[in-house]
Structure 1
Amino acid sequence: MFFKNQFANVVEWEEFREDMIFWKWRNREIKKGSKLIIRPGQDAIFVDNGRIEGVFKDEGEYSIDSEIIPFLSTLKGFKFGFNSGMRVEVLFVNTKEFTVRWGTQNPVLIPTPQLPGGMPIRANGTFNFKVADYVTLIDKIAGMRDSYLVEDVKIRITSVLDQLLMKWISREGKNMFNLQANAHEIAGGIRDDLDMQIMDIGISITGFNVMSFNYPPEIQAMINKTASHEMIGDLSKYQQVSMTDGMTSGKMQGGGAASDMAGMMMGMNIAKEMMDNMGQGKVNKPDAPKAPTAPAASPAASDEGGAKPNFCPNCGAKNAGANFCPNCGHKLA
């Protein structure tokens, strides 16, 4: 318990926030009988005229008189035993590792031969950082500010991120249409460059990740279509199935030239099938010469037009005995 005539006070982080990197206790006298409180995840740095006089890292409650003074013997105020109090700054530093989400504010134009104006790409992810050098932090930041927030670091990082994305995406001819495959390498290069740039304020980048790259909608649609073609393998078959699906689902109605072309191609295929059937009918007319009597058909082939498969060999749709596939129009018998 402290007496009023001792003018005791408590030196502690009074305005703590989870997103605050450091906070400065300043412009007040440390009186005789004062105590220092350090909470978990905090370091307390005693500073006099911009010079670090002592760093205290262990959490707990300390008596300034008996536990702190021996470590601060170079301060004039302590040498005179608090006869007039002592003005000193105490910088409280958040020692945890911070995780921050980032995302490009505008598309980054990546030079590529396919697009003269560049490939517009957005990206997002996370980066991690922590305070690494107290001397540099005080010299460059804390000497002029009473506090420093995560948002301040984020602004500094994002101001150079577009240039670094352009550098590492373009490096060594990366595949512009499959950047995710190179995400780890790109992120590693950016992390190293960011660490070099941010270390001049006493902060270290401990991690950088790219979660996704985002293309313009028309480019993404082209990528998806190309991937579908590669998966199916048979491009002509893919086109046929796509047109059939579009017509049967009604998605091509009112679709303009593409819909008209698809309809015309389907019509031509159906007309060809009809002509083939008509040709077969002429051969089987009553007045045509009869072909030699063939052996009796097996039960499986006794139905008109021969046996019908249960599934269309062209699109795989189930067949219920029809001559033409109800899904794609393929002749079944």
Structure 2
Amino acid sequence: MGTHNLVFLEVIEWFDPTGREMLHRIPEEGSGEIKFGAQLTVRESQAAVLFYQGKAVHGFGPGRHTLKTANIPILTKLLSLPWAFTSPLRAEVYFVNTKVFTNLKWGTRDPVAFKDRELGLIRLRAHGIYNVRIVQPLLFINRLVGTLGRFSTEDVEEYLSRVIVSRLNDFMGEELTTILDLPGRYDQWAERLRARLAEDLAHFGMSLTHLYINAITPPPEVQQAMDDRSKLGLFDDLNKLLKLKAATALEKAAENPGAAGEGAGLGLAFMMPGLLGRALTQDAPDPGKETTSPGGPQPPGAACPDCGRSVPDDARFCPFCGHHLVVFDQCPYCGKNVPPNARFCPRCGNAVAEKPREKKCGNCGAVNLPQAAFCDQCGERL
């Protein structure tokens, strides 16, 4: 800050050691005795306004200025002629810092009620940062600072924060339907909110150069509920995947029942037998229950007659190999279990509607098995 004394101010300048001072008046209290011809130095990031008798009479940009009538014609009317323009001038100089003030914080002091489309009535908190700059020094002095000797960002930060929150509340009420859509819209909202706040700050000669929304968050209990909902969705997708894999394996096993026990059924059993059983049935199978003969529906704990694995008590088909568990007869040719009302064996394709008769050799008269093609006594074709 420039030197001054109780009588004359000859060199007038100001430095901001804090980086947060927006305005400084010389002298800080009352008016000073500014000597006619005093040197006024204004830096690149500053502007200066000369006040005389409570009114602004001249503004100064960056550079070094001499307070004389040759440089400031209006001083001719202000100074006393009898003193031959040598008397001191009782006035004040306001230095305004025109740089961009960064990292000013805004945020909600209390949660704001909001009706969410998905979650119902919740309370939200929001916070972020913003940057401001003084673009009209005289308007800033007259409407916001007044007669204060110093003015910093601390004096205006809380007020601007409340203005931003107020505009944000109105904006959310118009644009937001659910907080689940928020994360990807922060930049868009910040730009539109900055444009809406431009008029509010222009009233005080300031400009909102940047505005950032860091987060809009619900209370901790609502965040926990959102996490639980995400987990439920994950488990539901996993259950659908298991059912799809089980259905695909059963379809392949039904297409090739002979190889089911060795191929698809064995691979599916090794993959996830416990989860697969729950995906196919509402209740998990109980392997400790008794088994019965293959002549009817399989009781609890029954084993598949084809692959030998334990199956649920209410299953009609083996979940591992696709074998039909409701059996009334067997194929007389290959011994495969035959489903009810079947006319042909699903394994060898022979007709099973009637029991085949024994074959008698026309050469030697020997009786042969129904499936024999040659006589087992003389070798003659049957």
Structures share fold, TM-score greater than 0.5: yes
Cα deviation for residue 164 of structure 1 reads 1.8
User: Which letter maps to 1:52?
Assistant: A
Report the alpha carbon displacement of residue 189 of structure 1 after superposing the two structures with TM: 3.5
Q: Which residue is 2:303 aligned to?
A: 280
**Residue 143 and residue 75 in structure 1: after superposition, are their counterparts in 2 closer, same or farther (change >3 A)?**
farther
Pairing partner for 2:58 from 54, 63, 68 = 54
Q: 1:212-270, CA deviations, whole angstroms, 9 ceiling, x for partnerless residues? A: 11122232233344455667771536999xxxxxxxxxxxxxxxxxxxxxxxx99x976
Q: Which consecutive segments of 4 or more residues in structure 1 shift more than 4 A?
A: 78-82, 113-116, 225-233, 237-240, 268-271, 273-278, 281-284, 290-294
Match among 59, 65, 78 for residue 76 of structure 1: 78
44, 49, 53: which one aligns with 1:45: 49
- Corresponding residue of 1:34: 38
User: Helix, strand or coil: the match of 2:215?
Assistant: strand
Of the three residues 102, 105, 123, the one matched with 2:106 is 102
Q: Distance in 1 between matches of 2:154 and 2:85?
A: 39
**Count of residue pairs brought into register by the alignment:** 259
Q: Percent identity?
A: 23
Query: Counterparts in 2 of 1:236-315, with a 5 A limit?
Result: 236=239, 271-272=285-286, 278-280=301-303
Instruction: Quote the residue 2:23 is aligned against.
Output: 22
Please name the residue that 2:155 is paired with.
152
RMSD: 3.9
**Shift in Å, 1:176:** 2.6
TM-score (norm 1): 0.63
1:204 equivalent in alignment to 2:207: yes
Q: 1:131 to 1:280 in 2, by over 3 A?
A: same
AA partner of residue 152 (structure 1): D
Q: Name structure 2 gaps, 5 residues minimum.
A: 244-277, 290-297, 309-329, 337-382
Cα drift, residue 40 of structure 1: 3.5
Structure 1 residue runs of 5 or longer lacking an equivalent are 241-264, 285-289, 295-333
The 8 Å contact of residues 24 and 150 in structure 2, kept in 1 or not, is answered as yes
Distance apart, 1:180 and its partner CA: 2.2
Q: How does 1:223-242 map to 2 (within 5 A)?
A: 223-227=226-230, 234=237, 236=239
Q: How far has the Cα of 1:16 moved from its partner? A: 4.9
Structure 1 residue aligned with 2:183, among 180, 184, 187? 180
**Is 2:191 the counterpart of 1:168?**
no
Cα 1:40–1:230 change in 2 (3 A) is farther
Q: Is the 8 A contact 1:43 1:94 kept in 2?
A: yes
Aligned to 1:136: 139
Answering whether residue 116 of structure 2 is matched by residue 112 of structure 1, we say yes
Greater helix percent: which structure?
1
Question: How far is 1:114 from its partner?
Answer: 5.4
Contact 1:110–1:166 at 8 Å: present in 2 too?
Answer: no
1: CA distance between counterparts of 2:118 and 2:173?
13
- For 1:274 and 1:211, locate their aligned partners in 2 and report how far apart those are by CA, in whole Å: 59
- 1:85, distance to aligned residue in structure 2 (A): 0.4
Give per-residue Cα distances to partners, 1:27-77, cap 9 Å, x unaligned. 211114532222341112112234332222224x4443498x435535513
**Contact 1:198 / 1:205 at 8 angstroms: preserved in 2?**
yes
Task: Give the conservation status (yes or no) of the 8 Å contact 1:36–1:63.
Answer: yes
Indicate how the Cα distance of structure 1 residues 174 and 78 shifts in structure 2: closer, same or farther if over 3 A, else same: farther
Q: Which has the higher contact order (CA 8 A, sep 6+)?
A: 1
Change (3 A) 1:63 1:133: closer
Cα distance, 1:173 vs structure 2: 4.5
Supply the distance in 2 between the matched residues of 1:98 and 1:129 (Cα, whole angstroms): 5
| Matched position secondary structure for 1:88 | strand
- Per the alignment, residue 315 of structure 2 pairs with none
Pair member with larger Rg: 2
Q: Is the 2:135–2:205 contact (alpha carbons within 8 Å) kept by the matching residues of 1?
A: yes
- Does 2:90 align with 1:90? no
